[in-house]
Chains A and B, each alone.
Chain A
Amino acid sequence: MQNLGINVFLKGRNMIRLFEGLMVTARIALIAIIIGSLLGIVLGVVWTSKSKWIRSVCRIYLEMFRIIPILVWLFIMYFGVTTVLNIDLSGEFVSIIVFTLWGAAEMGDIVRGALESLPKHQIESGKAIGLSFWGLYRYILIPQAVRRMLPGAINLATRMVKTTSLVVLIGVIDVIKVGQQIIETSRIEVPTASFWVYGFLFILYFVICYPLSVLSRRLENKWNG
C-alpha cells in the first residue's frame, strides 16, 4: 500500500487543493463563456451591418484574437497594459478579461455566419408582414440562427475551458498547476504520481466539458423533433 500512487490524493490538503484549482479554472471559463457569448451575439448582429466600416472593425477585432496567441494576449494584458497604465490587476481578473474578449470575438463570427446563412427571403418575408428591426431578429432570425450556431458555440466553449491552462503563465494557480505541484512534491516518494494526477485531471475536465456536449445534443434533438 505504501507506494500506491493513488495515496497522493489523500496526503495533506491535496484533494482540497485540487478542487480549489478546479474552481479557479471553472470560474474563469464560466464567466468568460457567459459574458463572451452575450457580447458575441451583439457583435454578430452588428457585424451583419451593411456599413463597410463596421464590418472591417469587427473583422480586425476577430483577426486580432485569431492571429495573436491567447498566451501573448495574457502577457500583454497582465504585464504590458498594467505597467503602461500603472494599475494593479490580479492574474485571475486579467484572465477573465482576455478569455471574455476572445470568446466574444469567436462567438461574434459564429453568430454572423449563422445569420448570413439564413435565406434572404426570411428577412424579406419578415419585413413584408411589418416586423420592426427588433421583431425581425427576435422572432425570425435569432431563433433560426441559434440552431445553426449551436455546434460551433459548444465547440468554442470546450476549447475555452481547455485553454484556461495557459493562465498559469501569469501566476494564476489553476487545477493543472496544482496537479503539477503535487507531482513534483511527491516525485521521490510516489514516482507514479503523474499517472494518477493526470488521470484525475482528465476526469475533472471531462466532468466540466461533457455536460456541454450532452446539452447541445439534447437541444439539437429537441429542435429537430
Chain B
Amino acid sequence: MKKFKKILQLLMITVLVLGVITGCSNDASSTASTSESTNSEAGTSETTSEEKGSLAEIKERGKIRIGVFSDKHPFGYVDENGENQGFDVYIARRFAKDLLGDESKVEFVLVDAASRVAFLESNKVDIIMANFTVTEERKEKVDFANPYMKVSLGIVSPESAPITSIEQLKGKKAIVAKGTTAETFLTKNYPEIEQLKFEQYTEIFEALKDGRGDAIVNDNTEVIAWAKQNPGFVVGVSSLGGQDTIAPAVKKGNKELLDWINQELELLGQENFIHEAYDATLTEIYGEDYKEELVIEGGKLE
C-alpha cells in the first residue's frame, strides 16, 4: 500500500508536468488546426469527454463497459473457459440486461485493485464493480452508488475453544495480519488484547492451526471462507467493528448514470436479486448462514 502511494505521488507529479507540456503544445497546435479539427469532428461524430459514459452514449454504443476483477474468487474471476464469473459479474450482467436489453451487451474490462480509480477517471470504463469498498478517501475521486454488499471483521477460533465475543479475547492472543483494518480496530478499541502480527494472510491461518494464538481477527469474508474449508474451526463472531460497504462506482460527476444505478438497485431489491446473486455465486464459499451478514438489498443498509 505504501509503495503504491509513492508510485501514485510520482505519477501525479509527472502527470502534472506532462499536462503542462502537452497543454502548452496543444494551445499552439489547436489554433493552427482549428478548421481541420472541426471538420473531422463533424465527419466522424466523435464524442467529447463530457458525453462519454452518459446514458445516451452507452445506448448508442450498444455496450456498457464495466470494470471487474479477474482474479478475486468468488467476486470477480475468469473461469477455465475464459468466461467472467462471480458475484460482481452476476450483478453487472443484470445491469446490462436492464439497460440495454441483453445480458451479453456488457464489455468486461479486467482491472486491478491499484488501477480501479484510474480506469474510471480516464473514461476507460463506465462503472467499476470490482469489490470496491466505499472509503472517504475514494469518495473524493469517484462517485459511489448505493451499496450491494457489506463487510466487517470476523473472529475465527478452534471449535474446542470457541471465541464468541470480543470480550472473551481479553487476556488472550489475537492473530492479525499487519496493515489490515483488524489491526487498526483492535489497537484503537481494545488495546488490552495482545496481538500476534504476521505479514501474510497465509501466515495467520498457519499460526492458528499451530495454536500460536487463540483466534484470528480479520475481514469476515476471509475468515468465513477459511473456516468453511477447514473443519474444526468456527466463526464465533461474524460481524464486528465498523461496517464497510461495497458499491458500484462511476466517474466523478456522472450523476445520470449514478441515479440510474441507484434506481436499478432499488428495483432489483423488490425481487431480491442480490440474494439470488449470492445463491448463484457465493453460497459455495460462504454457505447459507452468512447471507444476511453480507448482502445489501435495494441499495439500503438497515
Residues of A within 8 A of B (CB): 11-14, 17, 68-69, 71-72, 75-76, 78-86, 168-171, 173, 177, 180-188
Contacts and interface: CB of A to CB of B under 8 A. Distances in A.
A79 B122 contact: yes
A168 B286 CA distance: 29
23 contacts: A12-B80, A12-B81, A12-B82, A17-B82, A72-B11, A72-B14, A79-B115, A79-B118, A81-B18, A83-B49, A83-B122, A84-B22, A86-B46, A169-B112, A171-B124, A177-B70, A177-B71, A177-B110, A180-B71, A181-B77, A181-B78, A184-B71, A185-B73
Main secondary structure of the interface of B (DSSP, over half): mixed
Contacts, number: 90
Contact of B22 (A11, A81, A170, A180): A81
Nearest to B225: A188
B102 interface: no
A188 B225 CA distance: 10
Contacts of A186: 80
Given A72-B10, A79-B115, 14 more contacts: A12-B80, A69-B7, A78-B122, A79-B119, A83-B121, A83-B123, A86-B49, A168-B112, A171-B115, A184-B71, A184-B73, A185-B78, A185-B79, A188-B285
A71 B10 CA distance: 11
B229 interface: yes
A184 to B, nearest CB: 4
B127 interface: no
B22 A185 contact: no
Nearest to A183: B71
A13 B7 contact: no
Interface size bracket, B side? 35 or more
Interface string B57-90: 0000000000000111100011111100000000
A168 B78 CA distance: 15
Contacts of A170: 115
A85 B22 contact: yes
Nearest to A188: B229
B111 interface: yes
A169 B4 CA distance: 12
A71 B80 CA distance: 29
A84 B17 CA distance: 13
B48 interface: yes
Contact of B118 (A75, A173, A180): A75
B33 to A, nearest CB: 13
A126 B26 CA distance: 46
B19 interface: yes
A79 B80 contact: no
A86 B19 contact: no
Contacts of B119: 79, 171
B277 interface: no
Contacts of A84: 18-19, 22-23, 26
Interface in B109-152: 109-112, 114-115, 118-119, 121-124
Given A72-B11, A78-B122, A171-B111, A185 B18 contact: no
Contacts of A68: 10, 14
Contacts of A13: 80-82
B15 interface: yes
Contacts of B15: 76, 80
Identify which of A13, A76, A79 gathers the most chain B CB atoms within 10 Å of its CB. Answer: A79
A1 to B, nearest CB: 18
Contacts of A169: 112, 114-115
A76 B18 CA distance: 8
Contacts of B115: 75, 79, 169-171
A178 B91 CA distance: 23
A73 to B, nearest CB: 9
B111 A184 contact: no
Nearest to B285: A188
A82 to B, nearest CB: 6
A87 to B, nearest CB: 10
Contacts of A71: 7
A76 B229 CA distance: 42
Contacts of A181: 70-71, 77-78
